[in-house]
Chains A and B, each alone.
Chain A
Amino acid sequence: MTALDSDIAHLLAGSMVLVSFLLLYQDRMFALLNVFALHACVLSFSVGWQAYLQNAPHLFITAVIALVFKGVVIPVTLHRIVVRLGIHRSIETVVSVGPTMLFGIALVALSIVVMLPVTVAAGAFVREDLAFALSIVLLGLLMMVTRRNAVSQVIGFMSLENGLVLAATGARGMPLVVEISVAFSVLIAFIVIGIFLFRIRERFDTVELQALDMSRGETE
């Protein structure tokens, strides 16, 4: 692997972290969906590049699945759902953008501090890849926690899944199970999104989670 090859791999993985921050920054629904599509595209490029470098053809399948499903099909479908159900186009946040971003940076620093010492024995790309993957997972979690909207929670979860796919790519030779799980979670996420958003919209007038939380049964 030449220096340029590893530079490109680093570039792609780092871009994924950058796009995760971009996801965190969005406060409008359609922009969020577009940025998520970008996230999936960068993931597929990254996985595809790794497939080329590691000589692992099964990773190409993962890359294509990520590109087609998460880069195209899911954003388009969510776009249609948002339009058809008349979901509010702006996303409210629990904490304002500034502190959220700072906290996100802290999470990235945390994952770097956690992952780098642990993976000393592994190769350079694996170490980077895992550190970045954990950051993307944590940023996805942050997004799920700080956004008061069901659609953005689902997007946060899917970006978290992207991070996991990146991690699995870095762990060389992880067998076909990765693809099965990828396809599975995509498919089921699809179904669940469809069922729930339709039903949630029927019951409530919005997918605002505060409205959802009013039926909290915790005091029952």
Chain B
Amino acid sequence: MIRDWLTQLVQLAAVLVLAPLLTGVTRKVKARLLRRRGPPLLQPYRDLLKLIRKETVVAENASWLFRSAPYVIFATTWVAAALIPTFATGLTFSAGADLIVIVGLLGTARFFLALAGLDVGTSFGGIGSSREMMFASLAEPAMLMVVFTVSLFAGSTQLSTISAYMLGPQMGLSISLALAIVALIIVSLAENARIPVDNPATHLELTMVHEAMILEYSGRHLAVIEAAASLKLLLYMSLIACMFAPWGTAVAGGGAAAYSIGLVAYAIKLAVGGFLLVVFETATAKMRVFRVPEFLGVALMLGLLGAMLLFVSRVSQ
């Protein structure tokens, strides 16, 4: 009993600790691909510590929302990331580790972020928030379609069940899953403000989306938001790994050996995911903002099509 709780807390802490490392690794690999040396791997930790120590400057006309939004965003993203099975499925909180819950938590985070961008009344915040909402209006339905497709397969929206199903024998070749993976990848790129949707390293205001919303933040607020952004990236990678590449994941109560294997497998999946992301980012150019709805529309179409194809094959059997 205590062991289960401890394992769950380990997962909770692990995601928090690993997230900046993932960000650091992606930045390093990207720099290397571009033939630069790049920042040290642990730089994100140093950045976070630096930001926490700095003075927090808040605009005069900022409301309570501005001050509390970072914490809300961080909290919801951390909970969502902690719910997703990383090295083991079926942990204590796994009853709540439902895809719909995760989508809801991420939606809450996005909501508060957008409001915070609007709160101070600057135009850049406005641009960022409106763009973010435009992307969200397409990305959320696409995400939900992916959820439908995957849960039609597994018979449940619970991540542990989905993982177990994917490992199981009834799983065959399926076009709907392929479409779902592609759609999920597109949605992840959009949600994490990655190229081709948004450049995470940009400082040009006209091209910002995510950066524009957090432009007014500083000090510990900014630290918390940056941590949340790293957590979000980790979250999406864990989600893809858990749903579509569940090999090596331990089952709860499997013992220390299984957990270790699970951890190693998880680390490998993160590394591979990070590498693939970086390669894709380096090879692609950022899209113009008005083309992003088309891009996300593709994800929505693929999700819808996957769900419908699956529906047909289920009904006709």
Q: Please report A residues at the B interface, Cβ cutoff 8 Å.
A: 3-4, 7-8, 10-11, 14-15, 17-18, 21, 25, 97-98, 101, 105, 108-109, 112, 116, 124-125, 127-128, 131-132
Contact = CB atoms under 8 A, between A and B. Distances in A.
Given A18-B305, A21-B301, A127 B316 contact: yes
Interface string B298-313: 1001101100110111
Interface in B264-317: 293-294, 297-298, 301-302, 304-305, 308-309, 311-313, 315-317
Given A125-B316, A128-B316, 20 more contacts: A4-B173, A7-B173, A10-B175, A11-B173, A11-B174, A14-B176, A17-B305, A18-B302, A101-B301, A105-B301, A105-B305, A108-B305, A112-B308, A112-B311, A112-B312, A116-B312, A127-B315, A127-B316, A128-B312, A128-B313
Given A8-B173, A14-B175, A98 B309 contact: no
17 contacts: A3-B172, A7-B172, A7-B174, A8-B173, A14-B175, A15-B175, A17-B305, A17-B309, A18-B179, A98-B293, A105-B305, A112-B311, A112-B312, A116-B316, A124-B313, A124-B317, A131-B316
Secondary structure type dominating chain A contacts: helix
B308 to A, nearest CB: 6
Interchain residue pairs A-B with the least CB separation, the first 6: A127-B316, A14-B175, A7-B172, A14-B309, A7-B173, A11-B175
Nearest to A104: B301
Interface of B: 172-176, 179, 293-294, 297-298, 301-302, 304-305, 308-309, 311-313, 315-317
Contact of A97 (B294, B305, B311, B315): B294
Contacts, number: 61
A39 to B, nearest CB: 15
A188 B73 CA distance: 63
A8 B313 CA distance: 12
Contacts of B308: 105, 108-109, 112
Contacts of A15: 175
A125 B294 CA distance: 33
B305 A124 contact: no
A18 B180 CA distance: 13
Most buried by A among B176, B179, B308: B308
Contacts of B175: 10-11, 14-15, 18
Contacts of B317: 124
B297 A101 contact: yes
Contacts of B298: 25
Contacts of A116: 312, 315-316
A196 to B, nearest CB: 33
A21 B293 CA distance: 17
Nearest to A120: B316
A125 B176 CA distance: 16
A94 to B, nearest CB: 18
A7 B305 CA distance: 16
B173 A131 contact: no
